Structure 1
Amino acid sequence: MKQVLAVLICLSIVNFVVSGAPTHILTSCCRKYSKKVPSINRIQRYEIQTNNGHCRIDAVKFTVAGKRICSDPKNKRVIATLKQLSEKEQKMKMMLILWD
């Protein structure tokens, strides 16, 4: 009986510690959209977030000056910015290929 009680106490402690730990997935999700769409020249990187069960909304996460800006992927300015970034990446790849 004492062993069962000790196991239950240990499991309760482990459950408490694990449930209290912050999860990286939830803290990295965008929860709402910013009204700002950053200038292409200021964007350091970007990432596409999908509504996959962990994150609740689809979003484009731009990193500008080390800060994250969450944008609506259906916004026309966001779509245009993503297109420009894609073209810029393609040009950089071509330059690297030609450089070699």
Structure 2
Amino acid sequence: MKQVLVVLICLNIITFTVLAVRAPILKNCCRNYSKTIPQLKRVKGYDIQENNGRCRIEAVLFKVGKRWVCSDPNNDEVKNLVKKLSEKQQRR
């Protein structure tokens, strides 16, 4: 009886450890788009999120201060902002 209890406790610990490791990965994905698009002068950088199975939508992530803003990559304003940021990085 004691052995069964020890095995169940060990299985629970392993399960919770695996679940705890997966949580931060999903937290870093955009789940929806922001309604506002940041101004060029406030954007410190950007990154592209692909729909790769881990993240469910494609998005452009703009770094604004200490936070990230998720934007629709098909939006014309977002495309223009990415273009301007790319040109700005190439000049450096």
Please say whether Structure 1 and Structure 2 have the same fold, judged by a TM-score greater than 0.5.
Answer: yes
> What TM-score results when the alignment is normalised by the length of structure 1?
0.79
Q: Distance in 1 between matches of 2:41 and 2:20?
A: 40
- Percent identity of equivalent pairs: 51
What is the RMSD of the two structures over their aligned residues, measured on CA atoms?
1.8
> What TM-score results when the alignment is normalised by the length of structure 2?
0.85
Q: Write out per-residue CA displacement over residues 58-79 of structure 1, whole angstroms, 9 at most, x where no aligned residue.
A: 0001111212111000000000
Indicate the residue corresponding to 1:89 in structure 2: 89
Structure 2 contact 44–65 (Cα < 8 Å) conserved = yes
Indicate the residue corresponding to 2:10 in structure 1: 10
Structure with the greater alpha carbon radius of gyration: 1
Work out the number of aligned pairs and report it: 91
Indicate the residue corresponding to 1:70 in structure 2: 70
Give ranges in structure 2 of 5+ residues lacking alignment.
none
Give ranges in structure 1 of 5+ residues lacking alignment.
93-100
Q: Write out per-residue CA displacement over residues 24-49 of structure 1, whole angstroms, 9 at most, x where no aligned residue.
A: 22111111101111111110111100
Indicate the residue corresponding to 1:56 in structure 2: 56
